[in-house]
């Protein structure tokens, strides 16, 4: 049984992913209810309440490739060989969006400097970032553009992580410098750092941390609706 057949029929691989909390239907009614307030799925309510029985049967799934769940992820890679080349090339996908009827997979993740990347594979072809026609086919197979929304959420998360990691110091060290007060010239210094800062700069960095942390928490909260055990910080590549 190949990857698509297994997922569609809820075979051994599907059950392993389900037991590990790594797979959800993209149009699961519980997910729709929780994420509607975040601006997801709104178009499904344009006329009346959605037909949840129909949505529950759509062959569209999202898989979280949590590398700490090694056994499950190795099973996915054995079942879908093109993933092996992506893994060997460097940064691996964080999520897969799968249409089992069309035999299409869109893999997406964060790479160096937490830049977003997205590649598509059709029926065991190599993953390609220039397969616009099949990616559009995948989008068109959905009653609401789930693919674009999860891509945008992950991309925004990566941007926030990069911006946060680019701020000097950390919230604690910045607050310690502020509490220690300025030197005779009116400048502040981080511990073990010779960079001088004004009070305005110091407070600005502290504020920036607060904003980025809030945005990271928001994006992570949306993804955790699908995968409650997801730890947002684990998506940060730390590769700079």
Q: What is the pLDDT confidence band of residue 174, given thresholds at 50, 70 and 90?
A: very high
- State which residues form the domain around 82: 3-147
Do the domain assignments include residue 240? no
Predicted confidence (pLDDT) at residue 55 exceeds the cutoff of 90: yes
> CB of 97 within 8 A of CB of 110?
no
Confidence check: pLDDT of 194 > 90: no
- pLDDT given at position 90: 87
Helix, strand, coil percentages (3-state) for the chain, rounded to 5, are 50, 15, 35
Task: Give 138-165 as a DSSP string.
Answer: HHHTSSS-HHHHHHHHHHHHHHHHHHHH
Q: Is residue 42 part of a domain?
A: yes
Q: Is residue 220 part of a domain?
A: no
Alpha-carbon span 120 to 98, nearest angstrom: 10
pTM for the full model? 0.94
| Per-residue model confidence as pLDDT tens digits over 195-215 | 789 999 999 999 999 999 999
Rounded Cα gap, residues 103 and 122, in angstroms: 6
Q: Is the pLDDT of residue 46 over 90?
A: no
- d(C-alpha 67, C-alpha 202), whole Å: 37
pLDDT at 208: 98
pLDDT at 37: 93
CB atoms closer than 10 angstroms to residue 114:
25
> What does the pLDDT read at residue 148?
97
**What's 42's DSSP letter?**
G
Q: Looking at the predicted structure, is the pLDDT value of residue 193 above 80?
A: no
The answer, yes or no, to whether residue 120 has pLDDT greater than 80, is yes
Least confident of 84-93, 158-167, 187-196: 187-196
Q: Is 223 among the domain residues?
A: no
pLDDT-derived band at 192, boundaries 50, 70, 90 = confident
Residue 73 lies in a domain: yes
List pLDDT tens digits, range 78-110: 999 999 999 998 899 999 999 999 999 999 999
Q: H helices then E strands: how many in the chain?
A: 10, 7
Task: Let me know if residue 157 belongs to a domain.
Answer: no
Q: Examine residue 109 and state whether it is found in any structural domain, yes or no.
A: yes
- Cβ-contact 18, 112 below 8 angstroms: no
According to DSSP H, which parts of the chain are helical?
Answer: 3-8, 12-19, 29-35, 52-56, 70-79, 82-89, 132-140, 146-165, 171-180, 199-226
pLDDT in tens, 136-151: 999 999 999 999 999 9
16 in any annotated domain:
yes
Number of structural domains (the chain) is 1
210: tokens are 């607060």
Assess whether pLDDT exceeds 80 at residue 47.
Answer: no
> Both tokens of residue 225?
């609706």
């Amino acid at each position: 049984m190949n990857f698509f057949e297994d997922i569609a029929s809820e075979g051994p691989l599907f059950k392993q992913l389900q037991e590990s909390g790594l797979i959800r239907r993209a149009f699961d009614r519980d997910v729709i209810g929780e994420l509607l307030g975040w601006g997801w799925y709104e178009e499904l309510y344009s006329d009346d309440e959605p037909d949840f029985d129909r949505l529950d049967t759509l062959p569209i799934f999202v898989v979280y490739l949590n590398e700490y769940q090694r056994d499950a992820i190795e099973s996915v890679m054995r079942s879908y060989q093109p993933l092996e080349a992506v893994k060997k090339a460097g940064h691996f996908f964080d999520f897969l969006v799968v249409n089992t009827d069309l035999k299409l997979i869109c893999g997406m993740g964060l790479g160096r400097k937490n830049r977003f990347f997205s590649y598509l594979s059709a029926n065991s072809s190599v993953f390609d970032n220039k397969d616009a026609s099949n990616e559009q086919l995948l989008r068109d197979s959905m009653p609401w553009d789930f693919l674009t929304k999860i891509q945008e959420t992950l991309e925004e998360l990566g941007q926030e992580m990069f911006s946060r990691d680019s701020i000097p110091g950390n919230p604690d060290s910045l607050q310690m410098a502020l509490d220690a007060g300025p030197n005779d010239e009116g400048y502040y210094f981080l511990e073990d750092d010779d960079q001088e800062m004004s009070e305005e700069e110091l407070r600005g960095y502290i504020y920036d941390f607060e904003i980025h942390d809030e945005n990271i928490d928001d994006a992570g909260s949306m993804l955790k609706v699908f995968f409650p055990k997801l730890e947002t910080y684990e998506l940060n590549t730390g590769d700079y």
